[in-house]
Chain A
Amino acid sequence: MSSIWQLIKKYQSLILVVVVWQLMALSGLFSEQLFPGIEKIAIVFLELLPTSDLWSNIGITLYRILAGFALAAIVGVPLGIAMSRSRTFDNIMQPIFTFGYPVPRVALYPIFVLIFGIGSGSKIFTIFLECIFPIVVNTYYGAKRVNILYIWSGQNMGADKRKLFWRVFLPGAMPSIFTGFRIALPIGVVIAVLTEMISSSNGIGYLLTYLSASLSQSQVLAVVVYISLIGYALDRLLLYVRNRFVYWS
Chain B
Amino acid sequence: MQNNSKKWFVLTSIGEILFFLLLWQVLSITSWFPTYVSSPVEIFSRIGEMFADGSIYPHVGISLYRTILGFLLVVLIGTVLGMLAGFFKPIGNFFDPLISFFNPIPKIALLPVFLVWFGVTDVTRILIIFTSAFFPCFIATLDGVRNINKLYLWSAENMGASKFKMLWRIILPAALPKIFDGWRVALALTFVMMFSSEMIGTSTGHGLGFMILNADSYGRVDIVLAGVFIIALLGFIFDRLLILLRNRVLWWSER
Contacts and interface: CB of A to CB of B under 8 A. Distances in A.
A13 B94 contact: yes
A4 interface: no
B130 interface: no
B109 A107 contact: no
A212 B112 contact: yes
Nearest to B209: A107
Contact of B111 (A10, A197, A217): A197
A231 B104 CA distance: 6
B224 to A, nearest CB: 5
B40 to A, nearest CB: 14
A98 interface: yes
A104 B9 contact: no
A92 B228 contact: no
Nearest to A15: B97
Nearest to A183: B185
Given A13-B94, A107-B195, A115-B34, A102 B187 contact: yes
Nearest to A234: B104
B97 A193 contact: no
Secondary structure of the B contact surface, majority rule: helix
A215 interface: yes
Interface in B217-245: 221, 224-225, 227-228, 231-232, 235-236, 238-239
A110 B105 contact: no
Contact of A108 (B12, B36, B228): B228
Nearest to A133: B188
B101 interface: yes
B236 A104 contact: no
Interface in A59-106: 91-92, 94-96, 98-99, 101-104, 106
Contact of B115 (A102, A104, A108, A212): A212
Interface in B9-52: 9, 12-13, 16-17, 34, 36-37
Contacts of B37: 111, 114-115
Contacts of B1: none
A104 B113 contact: no
Contact of B109 (A94, A114, A193): A193
Nearest to B190: A104
18 contacts: A17-B98, A91-B12, A94-B12, A95-B17, A101-B188, A104-B192, A106-B192, A106-B195, A107-B228, A110-B216, A115-B34, A190-B107, A197-B196, A209-B200, A220-B112, A220-B113, A221-B113, A232-B104
B108 interface: yes
Interface in A172-215: 186, 189-190, 193-194, 197-198, 205, 208-209, 211-212, 215
**Interface size, A (range):** 35 or more
Interface in B177-206: 184, 187-188, 191-192, 195-196, 199-200
A23 interface: no
A106 B132 CA distance: 15
Contact of A95 (B12, B117, B191): B12
Given A106-B196, A198-B199, A14 B221 contact: no
B232 A107 contact: yes
B61 to A, nearest CB: 18
A224 B108 CA distance: 9
Interface string A103-128: 11011101101110000000000000
A139 B37 CA distance: 33
Given A17-B98, A212-B116, A220-B113, A231 B105 contact: yes
- Sorted nearest first, the 9 A-B pairs with minimum C-beta distance are A102-B239, A212-B112, A95-B13, A103-B232, A228-B105, A110-B216, A104-B192, A104-B191, A227-B109
